[in-house]
């Protein structure tokens, strides 16, 4: 609604001047643009929250893969494993001890190495220090790793001429899990090499 103002000047008659302002249509358009911007910002905030929720699962998958690789390298370094055992069951000369395909995250068996055929039937858990941030007291939280699976795959390494190098093997450790928010299957892959020599 436009307002009018009456201005009186000496020596002149009365004159009306119109003040300009925003029309109702301009206000509605600006509110629509502002609403679209706020809704877009809100959706980005929701996406960031979902990414934060899955970051813990990503970190757990990375740690599980590293833990598996470290147990294999430690067993090789301590001569706990013979070189012909460092392969999957059925590979090479048939002395491999590592299970084939995706396996549940179970505690290691007698050999103390993750992913072998003697793993126990007890699910592996993750220990969180709890609200006080200190391990070993009553508020520690144990997170079962029921939604995680691990695969340890060994393969031969070839030189530039296509010949197999007998003292080196490639290791691919895959940790697969379902994201809690989206249910999407995610896969963390760690690739490395292991040598027969310490």
Per-residue pLDDT of the chain (198 residues), as tens digits, is 455 556 556 655 555 556 677 788 888 999 999 999 998 888 888 777 777 777 888 898 999 999 999 999 999 998 888 898 999 998 877 788 999 999 999 988 888 898 999 888 888 888 888 888 888 888 888 888 888 999 999 999 998 898 999 999 999 999 999 887 778 899 999 999 999 987
Task: Look at residue 145 and tell me if it is in a domain.
Answer: yes
Give the span between the Cα atoms of 63 and 78, in whole angstroms: 22
Task: Look at residue 69 and tell me if it is in a domain.
Answer: yes
The string of DSSP letters for 141-185 reads: EEEE-TTEEEEEEEEEEE-TTS-EEEEEEEEEEEEEEE-TTT--E
Task: Look at residue 32 and tell me if it is in a domain.
Answer: no
Task: Look at residue 28 and tell me if it is in a domain.
Answer: no
Residues in contact with 37: Cβ distance below 8 Å, sequence separation at least 6, in sequence order:
none
pTM of the model: 0.70
- Residue 14 has what pLDDT? 54
Give the span between the Cα atoms of 155 and 172, in whole angstroms: 8
Is the alpha carbon torsion for 185, 102, 148, 56 positive or negative? negative
Task: Look at residue 14 and tell me if it is in a domain.
Answer: no
Residue carrying structure tokens 């009456």: 6
Q: Which domain holds residue 105?
A: 53-195
How many separate domains does the chain show?
1
Task: Look at residue 157 and tell me if it is in a domain.
Answer: yes
Task: Look at residue 35 and tell me if it is in a domain.
Answer: no
Task: Look at residue 33 and tell me if it is in a domain.
Answer: no
């Amino acid at each position: 609604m436009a307002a009018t103002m009456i201005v009186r000047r000496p020596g002149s008659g009365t004159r009306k001047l119109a003040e300009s302002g925003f029309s109702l249509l301009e206000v509605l358009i600006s509110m629509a643009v502002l609403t679209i911007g706020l809704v877009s910002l809100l959706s980005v905030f929701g996406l960031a929250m979902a990414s934060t929720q899955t970051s813990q699962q990503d970190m757990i998958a990375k740690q599980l893969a590293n833990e598996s690789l470290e147990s294999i390298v430690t067993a090789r370094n301590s001569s706990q494993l013979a070189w012909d055992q460092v392969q999957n069951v059925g590979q090479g000369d048939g002395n491999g001890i590592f299970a084939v395909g995706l396996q549940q995250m179970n505690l290691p068996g007698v050999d103390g190495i993750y992913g072998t055929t003697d793993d126990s039937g007890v699910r592996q858990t993750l220990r969180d220090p709890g609200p006080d941030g200190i391990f070993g007291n009553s508020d520690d939280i144990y997170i079962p790793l029921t939604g995680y699976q691990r695969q340890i795959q060994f393969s031969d390494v070839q030189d530039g001429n296509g010949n197999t190098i007998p003292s080196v093997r490639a290791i691919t450790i895959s940790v697969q899990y379902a994201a809690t928010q989206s249910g999407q299957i995610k896969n963390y892959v760690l690739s490395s090499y292991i040598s027969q020599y310490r």
